[in-house]
């Protein structure tokens, strides 16, 4: 079992990573932290969806009950990115109010990034803020969305447009969940795994290149190593810049392009990780056009992304003008200026507004 601490003063929390933590839990596994502090005597609401609940709800409930919680209630949302909106967020508030949950309750997100982002945002808003814990069940959620406290929902006109920063009390990552994850979802998670190598750590990028066969085969120890390294990098960045005033923006590599694809096609058409994969390639191509990196570097990035059956270019039906208009809605836009995360090398990225529209048009039209 691995434990990483996200040190954020009174908002600090542990990320626990391992097998058999709550899936087929092994009672001899002693956690490195004591969750009784934030669970005992609490009313608890588990939020999940209609795909994950049949697989893991009973086991998650069982895990919670060992800490002498006062009551466990459940809300099951429909599965899909298209339901990550205010209307479905309201279902969580309905349940909390109907069941008379007070400010001392705790929410539990059991699912992928959609459930995690929605549950976290509900916790941030309900009675002006209650506790929550993350039990991520997709690779993407285990390596990225459950850590760092970005929570929120989509608007029809843009991704994650309504949200807040609200840190969980605990992130419990049981890699055994990944056994039931469809291959397409696993690959989408790999896009964010590759992202960490590209934005921060060339040695990790090279490690992914070296272990791509084992990763694709979901080799348990290699997967845990990948999850651990991603969480370490994310924690390191979030500790320095919790609310994205500086270096946290680097975690957005590929996302200005990617979010434009997701919104342009309709949320849920392409998976988030797929859109980010294509977005990262476009970020590298932009740097190439600016003369910052060579064609060989771009080819090396494309090769690894393609090895996981992820897209390496935008969908044809989205035209460059439409992409540019959607990209202009990005949250990093400052004083009307688009700011992108662009590589200067693998493992070395910057936030910059130096890419002129003419270069972006070339990349988007290619
Ligand atoms: N907050 C953040 O920092 C952050 C970071 C990255 C992504 N995100 C957000 O996360 C979302 C994407 O998350 P995602 O890729 O986890 O998608 P998701 O939550 O939609 O889950 C993907 C699919 O897998 C199913 N699923 C989940 N766990 C499963 C399991 N163990 N076995 C079988 N099926 C399972 C889900 O029901 C769903 O159909 C996007 O909304 C994205 O914007 C947020
Ligand atoms: O944690 C972060 O910071 C990230 O940017 C991680 C991203 O992978 C994630 O998709 C995030 O939700 C994007 O944030 P947004 O602010 O661009 O909506
Ligand atoms: Zn992302």
173-219 per-position pLDDT tens digit: 999 999 999 999 999 999 999 999 999 999 999 999 999 999 999 99
Nearest atom in ligand 2 to 272's CA: 10
131 is in an annotated binding site: no
pLDDT at residue 293 is higher than 90: yes
Q: Which two tokens stand for residue 47?
A: 């939020």
Rounded Cα gap, residues 129 and 50, in angstroms? 26
pLDDT at residue 91 is higher than 70: yes
Rounded Cα gap, residues 285 and 294, in angstroms? 9
Decide: 285 and 298 in contact? Cβ < 8 Å: yes
pLDDT at residue 116 is higher than 90: yes
Mean pLDDT of 320-329: 97
259 is catalytic: yes
Rg of the chain, C-alpha, whole Å? 20
Mean pLDDT of 36-44: 93
Strands 340-345 and 348-352: antiparallel
Q: Taking CA 7 as the corner, what is the angle to CA 5 and CA 9, rounded to the nearest 5 degrees?
A: 140
Ligand 1 lined by 145 (C-beta under 6 Å): yes
pLDDT at residue 172 is higher than 90: yes
Sequence-distant (6+) residues with CB within 8 A of 299 are none
299 is in an annotated binding site: no
pLDDT at residue 26 is higher than 90: no
177 is in an annotated binding site: yes
Please give the helix or strand (H or E) that residue 216 lies within, else none.
helix 212-216
**Residue 176, Cα to own-chain centre: how many angstroms?**
18
Give yes or no on whether 2-180 and 183-365 have one common fold.
Answer: no
29 is catalytic: no
Rounded Cα gap, residues 231 and 16, in angstroms? 10
Q: What is the layout of strands, in order, in the sheet containing 2-6?
A: 2-6, 13-18, 170-174, 131-136, 106-111, 43-49, 71-77
* Half-sphere exposure (Cβ direction) of 255: Cα atoms closer than 13 Å: 21
Ligand nearest the Cα of residue 120 is: 1
128 is catalytic: yes
Rounded Cα gap, residues 239 and 336, in angstroms? 28
Instruction: Tell me which of 169, 195, 229, 255 is the catalytic residue.
Output: 255
Rounded Cα gap, residues 306 and 194, in angstroms? 11
Length, in residues, of the chain: 366
> Residue 30's pLDDT band (boundaries 50, 70, 90)?
confident
Residue pLDDT, tens place only, 306-318 = 999 999 999 999 9
Please give the helix or strand (H or E) that residue 132 lies within, else none.
strand 131-136
What ranges do the domains of the chain cover? 2-180, 183-365
18 is in an annotated binding site: no
Ligand 2 lined by 252 (C-beta under 6 Å): yes
Q: Which two tokens stand for residue 187?
A: 């690959």
Give me the percent of the chain exceeding a pLDDT of 90.
96
Predicted-assembly ipTM surpassing the 0.90 threshold: yes
Give me the percent of the chain exceeding a pLDDT of 70.
99
Instruction: Tell me which of 43, 228, 229, 234 is the catalytic residue.
Output: 234
Q: Is 241 helix (H, G, I), strand (E, B) or coil?
A: coil
pLDDT at residue 28 is higher than 90: no
C-alpha 350 – ligand 2 centre gap (Å): 16
Mean pLDDT of 26-36: 80
Mean pLDDT of 268-291: 98
255 is catalytic: yes
Mean pLDDT of 33-41: 91
- Write the DSSP symbol of residue 149: -
Q: What is the pLDDT of residue 31?
A: 86
Mean pLDDT of 261-265: 98
Q: What is the pLDDT of residue 27?
A: 67
User: Measured between alpha carbons, how far is residue 254 from residues 47, 189, 250, 275 in Å?
Assistant: 29, 14, 9, 8
> Residue 19's pLDDT band (boundaries 50, 70, 90)?
very high
- Write the DSSP symbol of residue 141: I
> Residue 137's pLDDT band (boundaries 50, 70, 90)?
very high
Rounded Cα gap, residues 225 and 209, in angstroms? 14
Ligand nearest the Cα of residue 256 is: 2
Give one word for 164, left, alpha or beta, with left for phi > 0 and alpha for psi -120 to 50: beta
Ligand nearest the Cα of residue 151 is: 1
- Supply the residue whose CA is at minimum distance from atom 4 of ligand 2: 251
Q: Which two tokens stand for residue 233?
A: 């990098």
Decide: 123 and 165 in contact? Cβ < 8 Å: no
**Residue 155, Cα to own-chain centre: how many angstroms?**
18
CATH architecture designation of domain 2-180: 3-Layer(aba) Sandwich (3.40)
C-alpha 62 – ligand 3 centre gap (Å): 31
Q: What is the mean pLDDT of the chain?
A: 97
CA dihedral 220, 231, 272, 81 (to 10 degrees): 90
Mean pLDDT of 230-254: 98
Rounded Cα gap, residues 157 and 228, in angstroms? 34
* b/e map 131-150, b = 16+ CB within 10 Å: bbbbbbbbbbbbbbbbbbbb
Q: What is the pLDDT of residue 25?
A: 87
Mean pLDDT of 275-290: 98
Q: What is the pLDDT of residue 32?
A: 87
* CATH match of 183-365 with 3.30.365.10: no
Rounded Cα gap, residues 254 and 306, in angstroms? 15
Q: Which ranges of 266-318 would DSSP assign to H, the alpha helix?
A: 272-289, 295-307
C-alpha 276 – ligand 3 centre gap (Å): 7
């Amino acid at each position: 079992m691995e434990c990483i601490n996200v040190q954020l003063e009174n908002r600090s929390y542990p990320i626990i990573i391992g097998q058999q933590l709550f899936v087929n839990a092994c009672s001899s596994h002693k956690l490195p932290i004591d969750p009784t502090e934030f669970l005992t005597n609490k009313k608890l609401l588990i939020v999940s969806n209609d795909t994950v609940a049949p697989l893991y709800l009973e086991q998650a409930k069982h895990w919670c009950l060992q800490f002498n919680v006062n009551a466990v209630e459940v809300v099951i949302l429909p599965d899909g990115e298209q339901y990550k909106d205010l209307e479905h967020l309201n279902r969580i508030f309905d349940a909390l109010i109907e069941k008379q949950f007070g400010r001392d309750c705790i929410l539990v997100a059991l699912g992928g990034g959609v459930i995690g982002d929605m549950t976290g945002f509900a916790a941030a808003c309900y009675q002006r803020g209650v506790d929550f814990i993350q039990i991520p069940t997709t690779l993407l959620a285990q390596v990225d969305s459950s850590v760092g406290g970005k929570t929120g929902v989509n608007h029809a006109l843009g991704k994650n447009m309504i949200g807040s920063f609200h840190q969980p009390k605990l992130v419990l990552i049981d890699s055994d969940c990944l056994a039931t994850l469809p291959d397409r979802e696993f690959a989408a998670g790999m896009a964010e795994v590759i992202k960490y190598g590209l934005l921060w750590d060339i040695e990790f990028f090279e490690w992914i290149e070296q272990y791509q066969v084992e990763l694709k085969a979901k080799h348990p120890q290699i997967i845990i190593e990948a999850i651990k390294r991603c969480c370490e990098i994310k924690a390191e960045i979030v500790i320095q810049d919790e609310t994205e005033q500086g270096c946290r923006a680097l975690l957005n590599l590929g996302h200005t392009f990617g979010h434009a694809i997701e919104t342009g096609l309709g949320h849920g058409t392409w998976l988030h990780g797929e859109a980010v994969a294509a977005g990262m390639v476009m970020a590298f191509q932009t740097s190439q056009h600016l003369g910052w990196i060579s064609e060989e570097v771009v080819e090396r990035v494309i090769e690894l992304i393609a090895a996981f059956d992820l897209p390496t270019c935008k969908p044809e039906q989205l035209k460059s003008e439409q992409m540019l208009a959607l990209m202009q809605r990005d949250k990093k836009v400052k004083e009307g200026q688009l700011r992108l995360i662009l590589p200067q090398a693998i493992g070395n990225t910057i936030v910059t507004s130096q890419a002129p529209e003419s270069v972006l048009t070339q990349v988007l039209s290619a």
